[in-house]
Amino acid sequence: MTSTYARFDTVFLFSRFAGAKYSPFSPSPSPSPSPTLLSSGIQLRTKPASRLQSIVALSSSSGAVVAGTDSIEIKSLPTKPIEGQKTGTSGLRKKVKVFMGENYLPNWIQALFNSLPLEDYKNATLVLGGDGRYFNKEASQIIIKIAAGNGVGKILVGKEGILSTPAVSAVIRKRKANGGFIMSASHNPGGPEYDWGIKFNYSSGQPAPESITDKIYGNTLSISEIKVAEIPDIDLSQVGITKYGNFSVEVIDPVSDYLELMEDVFDFDLIRGLLSRSDFGFMFDAMHAVTGAYAKPIFVDNLGAKPDSISNGVPLEDFGHGHPDPNLTYAKDLVDVMYRDDGPNFGAASDGDGDRNMVLGNKFFVTPSDSVAIIAANAQETIPYFRDGPKGLARSMPTSGALDRVAEKLKLPFFEVPTGWKFFGNLMDAGKLSICGEESFGTGSDHIREKDGIWAVLAWLSILAHRNKDTKPGEKLVSVADVVKEYWATYGRNFFSRYDYEECESEGANKMIEYLREIVSKSKAGESYGSYVLQFADDFSYTDPVDGSVASKQGVRFVFTDGSRIIFRLSGTGSAGATVRIYIEQFEPDVSKHDVDAQIALKPLIDLALYVSKLKDFTGREKPTVIT
């Protein structure tokens, strides 16, 4: 039976409310609850004082029925291409109001299905989840209905739409799904005025390769219809299965599959022994983001940490008005606690979607570059998953060379890749890579195909638990600082810092990069840059050793004869303007100099980077937004 409009209490606005101002928390401008016919032929039904949800109600004139069963009807919704839907290194990210615009999200989702081989989704299982930010629940309903409209067989969705990015990868792999949608803008702020994002991961749990994201973008430029199943909204608040014809939605517990995997990777008994010690203090800051859903079940319920060791542990749509980026600037609450005289022994934070991490000891910050190197150096001895040793190590190009030295000592294959976790996935699938990391607080291994914040925290707890397993009560515990300084004494210290200049005017930022590329094109080895002698300068290019694909223009590098590096990149993870990132690195083998503050040790290089780039002239910025 074809009805004039689907029986939904509330609907998400696909088309423009002609002349009306739309607010997701306000009632319809019209006092009448009756359906409103929009210019596209879509009928909108709203409920006063309700938050608009779900998908459009399709009128009989808005599109033809293209498929149907006794209990599910699929219609074709006419649409037009929308500019600006090209994905970056981590999917498509924009301000949430952009995604709530006319057909913006539906167009991208349909373009994705138009880009995939039929066998990748027809009658297949796909996973859906996100970080709990504003608009995720509404977007979940949109994605489910378009997936059903395109012939997907089953959707596995986290309860309340919640699944961390690592958990999505884990669920895809465990349940042999064909792929999955991740609703997140990662570490970017959430809320009605802030950011939202979407990306697609493939069947091994890894982010879709550029070959697919390029096709998606191409299809957004020619899209003409959206296939939508006319089914009610799914109740995401209860675990269970809902079926409509040959299509089903299973709402799953967001934690269980991921927790089971962590129990396989780590020695929980070993970690439990550390966290239950009365002389060991632990704090985890979930930053009111998705790991709040995982922290209590894992750290408290399974590993014995005290309930009050979890800070900001309730996921909120706006992250408690915070910026869920685990660094020294935005995780200030945790930093303040960890730098007290009586602060905990170990502290950590994770970001919006749970794939990044920051590790701290008492009055001691571990750089992400050092963190991945230290995990790799200790993995075989402390983590059961690596009992046979890692297969290989890799880092993103801007990340410091600390991991290189571990690979050399352990005689392991080593890879330097562009920024973007998808570049690690091919190496993992080919059996060439086990542990990898990025300086942007991303660390992970081949247990899944995403970086993994909680995994990194458990890895560090494993190292500390192993080092302290024979330490008796009353004896001094081996600390985070002890582990790091022992590593420096063995491998040397790579002083490293990153300067972020967020939301710069794109025009000036791009001109600065072009200026630097011009310098690189004329540079010669042996040239002097102050007291530094140039070894080479280039714009980093990467040829994938597995499939031969080439990624070019991945960052302007100045590498000097003493191993020091200056790197300039524009970040692709923001939703507005451009973020200029400058990376500064200098290797120091002398143990007597390892305790020097990084900003002091790197000041000559920092000054050189600002001078060479003319950053102030191009961007007008006097100071960075964030220093890491």
Name the residues annotated as catalytic.
186
Give the single-character DSSP code of 82: -
CA nearest neighbour of 224 among 2, 55, 39, 64 = 64
Q: In what order do the strands lie in the sheet with 310-311?
A: 310-311, 282-285, 346-350, 357-361, 364-366
Please answer whether residues 402 and 373 qualify as being in contact, where contact means their C-beta atoms are separated by less than 8 angstroms.
Answer: yes
- In degrees and rounded to multiples of 5, residue 335 shows phi and psi of -60, -45
The 3-state DSSP composition of the chain as helix, strand, coil percent (nearest 5) reads 30, 25, 45
How many C-beta neighbours within 10 Å does residue 181 have? 26
How are beta strands 578-588 and 565-571 bridged, if at all? antiparallel
- Residues shown for the chain: 628
Q: Specify the 3-state DSSP secondary structure of 356.
A: strand
Angle at the Cα of 357 from the Cα atoms of 109 and 494, rounded to 5 degrees: 120
Q: Rounded to whole angstroms, how far apart are CA atoms 453 and 445? A: 11
Give the single-character DSSP code of 138: H
Q: Rounded to whole angstroms, how far apart are CA atoms 250 and 159? A: 9
CA nearest neighbour of 138 among 34, 324, 10, 247 = 10
Tokens encoding 135:
């608009």
Q: Rounded to whole angstroms, how far apart are CA atoms 627 and 623? A: 10
Q: Rounded to whole angstroms, how far apart are CA atoms 41 and 14? A: 11
CA nearest neighbour of 309 among 298, 323, 320, 325 = 298
Angle at the Cα of 368 from the Cα atoms of 627 and 581, rounded to 5 degrees: 40
- Classify the C-alpha dihedral 261-266-269-271 as positive or negative: negative
Tokens encoding 400:
């410091």
Q: Rounded to whole angstroms, how far apart are CA atoms 596 and 602? A: 10
Q: Rounded to whole angstroms, how far apart are CA atoms 241 and 252? A: 9
Q: Rounded to whole angstroms, how far apart are CA atoms 139 and 142? A: 5
